[in-house]
Structure formats: structure tokens, C-alpha cells
Structure 1
Amino acid sequence: GSTPLMKFLLPEILTVDPGYAESGRRAARQLIEQIAGSVEPRQIVIPAALN
């Protein structure tokens, strides 16, 4: 699990981090680049992670 409390649970519980923080960072960066006219729109894939 992603928190210390979850380590005590049996069976241990896993959580999914869908990557929202990284998605937000990359979306903001791409938006700024597009406004500046330096890049074309593109698809970015952020993998999810099990914790």
C-alpha cells in the first residue's frame, strides 16, 4: 500500500496512482508551448502505477 497504515492490513491493499499530477504538469507545459506556437498538439500517455 501507499501509506504506512496499509502495511498492517492483511492481505496488503494496493492502491492505484493514475498519474494525475504528472498529467497536469505535462498538460500545462504543452499548453504553454502551443500558445507560444512552438509545438503541434500531441498525445501523451502517462502510465498508472500500483503502490
Structure 2
Amino acid sequence: QEQRIDTLQLASVGNTPLMKFLHPEIVTVDPGYAEAGRQAACQLIAQVTGRSEPQQIIIPATLS
């Protein structure tokens, strides 16, 4: 604001609720770490108990 820059865009990897309060607004990419962790844990449990073979699961990233 002091430099009189009217348009500035910032981007970040990771999305936290605090991001929406920042100025200027920050575009964030959420790579889906939480969902990837849940899926990995479920797959690990299924493999250890013999209920499943390894499988590839794709977690889409989201832009906000």
C-alpha cells in the first residue's frame, strides 16, 4: 500500500483458515495432505489384515 501497488497476487501451498483474513488475498493450493494421510492409513490397515492389495489412489489438489 505504501508503494502504491494496486494489483499484487500471492500464492501459497497449504491452506489454513487464517489465510482468508490476510490482505492482499492469497491464492492457496491445498495438496490434500489430510486426505492422503487418511487414505494411506486405511490402505495400510487393509493390507496388514489381508483384506486388500496395494492400490494407487489419486488425491486431487484444490485451488482456493
TM-score normalised by structure 1 residue count = 0.80
Structure 2 CA distance for aligned equivalents of residues 38 and 24 of structure 1:
19
Q: RMSD of aligned C-alpha atoms?
A: 1.7
The structure with higher relative contact order (CA 8 Å, sep 6+) is 1
Partner of 2:37: 24
Aligned residues: 48
Larger Rg: 2
- Deviating runs (4+, > 6 A) in structure 1? none
How far has the Cα of 1:13 moved from its partner? 2.4
Partner of 1:45: 58
Between Structure 1 and Structure 2, the one with more helix by share is 1
Establish whether residue 4 from structure 1 lines up as the match of residue 20 from structure 2: yes
- Asked whether the 8 Å contact 2:20–2:26 carries over to 1, the reply is no
TM-score normalised by structure 2 residue count = 0.66
* Structure 2 alignment gaps of length 5 or more: 1-14
